[in-house]
Each structure stands twice: as structure tokens, then as C-alpha cells.
Amino acid sequence: MKSPQVFFPINISEPGSFINNVKKNIKNYFKIFLVKYFFRKGLVLKDKGNLSGALYFFKEVIKIDARNVNALNNLGVCCAEMGMHKEALNYFGKACAIRNDVDIIINMIVSAVKAGKKSITNYYCNKLENYIEVLDVDTLFHLAGVMVQGKNYERAIYYYELCQSRDDFFKIIAIQRKGICYAKLGRYEEAKACAELLFSEEKGKKMAWELMGFILDQLSCYAEAVDCYNKAYGFE
């Protein structure tokens, strides 16, 4: 005995027919498959250090999905690691326009500093203020160092002060680095105040003498600076 057969009527004359929907779904599924495939290939090559190869596959992703934030961010990272900071800014900027993501904003700041784009740096630093309370001290300390690299000492001081107030482990070194920034700005009294604060901490005395040496160097008091460095490194 034959089992009963079931037939589904298909009206191919209608634009939204079953067949057209199937074709559309297959096409979308294939796109999703390609995006995942290209993205994974890009990640593997990036992890192996093959940045140019990774760039190729991440670019293939955004040809299919122009708003793929993860691919845009990884394109920016690859470009930044290859020293292509202006290109990196382009990709990070597109990613930030789609999604407010702390890591991407930080990537944008780092690349802007390395590209010498101070106005872009300040814009994204201001944007980062919305997330400043959730940033860990390691990230803040790294940001401060990036600001120093870009000679943005005021911002560096701000990030060092956050490190100083949030974590005892970073407190001593943050005070010293803050003092160096003050000295770079010619604000020597504030730099010396940082040194005095370090002298009041048992673990901070070596860094205090280093800071005093740096301040005196900036003031062209070279003999006195050498004396401070000698005290810092135990030569006296």
C-alpha cells in the first residue's frame, strides 16, 4: 500500500511566492556563511602575524556586510599594527559611528595619537568620559602613557590622577609620572609637590629622587640633577 502523498501548491505567478522566498533565504544564508568564513580566516591570519592576509579577509567581510563592526575594528587594528594609522582611523571611525564600544574608542584614541591628530584624540577622549568609571586602572595607565607619547600632558595628568586615586599598586608610579608631566609643562612647583608626596611614602623615595633629578635637568641644574640620580640609584 502506497503512503499518501502531500502536495504544497506553489503559485509562481506571485512575486512573494514560496520559491522566491526559498531563493532569498538561501542567498542570505550563503552571505552569513561567507561572512563567518572570511572573518575566521582573518582572525587566524592576524593571530599568526600575517596582517596583510588578515586585511584581505576582513575586507571581504565588509564587502558583504559594510556595517560589520568586528571586521571594521580588526581592519583598524591590523592597519595600526602595520603603521598605517590614517587608514586605521578610517576603519575605527566607521566602527564607532555604528556602535559606541569602549575598546574601539580606545583603539581610535591610540591611532589618533600615533597619527598626530590632536583634535581627533581630544574628541574621542571626551567621548570616553561616558565610560571613565568602568575603565580599569591598567587601561587608564596605558592611556596616560599614550597621552605622554602624544605630548598631551594635561590629559596624561588627568589619567594618572585617576590611577593614583583608584589603586594603591599604581599610586607611587602614577604620582611620579604625573610629576614628570608637570615638569614637561614647566609647572615646576606642582612637580616638586609630587616629589614631596613621594618622599612621604617609604616605597616612593627612589622615585622621588628620580623625579627631582628630572626636574633639575629641565631647569638646566645638571650637577644637582646628578646628585639626585646618585641618591636614587644608591651611589651615595
Give a yes or no: residue 130 inside a domain: no
If asked whether residues 30 and 92 sit together in one domain, one would say yes
pLDDT band per the 50, 70, 90 thresholds, residue 15: low
Domain boundary residue, one of 117, 143, 178? 117
Cell numbers at residue 114, please? 600615533
Q: Are residues 109 and 176 in the same domain?
A: no
For residue 90, the enclosing domain spans 24-117
pLDDT at residue 9 above 80?
no
The reply to whether 55 and 111 lie within a common domain is: yes
Q: How many structural domains are present in the chain?
A: 2
Q: How confident is the model at residue 141 (pLDDT cuts 50, 70, 90)?
A: very high
> Of the candidates 117, 152, 183, which is a domain's last residue?
117
Q: Which residue has the cell 612637580?
A: 191
* Mean pLDDT on 37-47: 97
Q: Give residue-wise pLDDT tens across range 92-107.
A: 999 999 999 999 999 9
CB 126 within 8 A of CB 118: no
**Residue 2 within a domain:** no
Predicted confidence at residue 23, as pLDDT, reads: 65
Cβ pair 103, 69 in contact under 8 A: no
CATH code at position 98? 1.25.40.10
Residue 152 and residue 230 share a domain: yes
CA distance 137 to 19: 57
End residue of a domain, out of 89, 117, 145:
117
Q: H-type helices in the chain, by residue range?
A: 18-47, 51-64, 69-81, 85-98, 102-114, 118-128, 137-149, 153-166, 168-184, 188-199, 205-218, 222-232
Q: Does 11 fall in a domain?
A: no
* 111 lies in the same domain as 139: no
- pLDDT on residue 18: 63
Rounded Cα distance between 141 and 219, Å, is 27
124 found inside a domain: no
Residues 112, 63 share a domain: yes
Q: Are residues 110 and 34 in the same domain?
A: yes
Nearest Cα to 92, choosing from 56, 181, 114?
114
What DSSP string runs through 124-164? HHHHHGGGGGG--HHHHHHHHHHHHHTT-HHHHHHHHHHHH
Regarding predicted confidence, which is higher, 22 or 126?
Answer: 126
DSSP state of 203: G
- 150-180 CB burial, b ≥16 within 10 A, e <16: bebbebbbbbbebbbeeeeebbbbbbbbbbb
**What confidence tens digit (pLDDT) does each residue in 174-230 have?**
999 999 999 999 999 999 999 999 999 989 999 999 999 999 999 999 999 999 999
Written as nine digits, the cell of 196 is 614631596
Reply yes or no on whether the pLDDT at 147 is more than 60. yes
Among residues of the chain, what percentage have pLDDT more than 90?
Answer: 83
7 within domain boundaries: no
The most distant pair of C-alpha atoms in the chain lies apart, rounded to whole Å, by 109
Which of left, alpha, beta for 234 (phi over 0: left; psi -120 to 50: alpha)?
A: left
Q: What is the pLDDT of residue 146?
A: 97
Q: What is the pLDDT of residues 45-87, one digit of tens each?
A: 999 999 999 999 999 999 999 999 999 999 999 999 999 999 9
CB 218 within 8 A of CB 183: yes
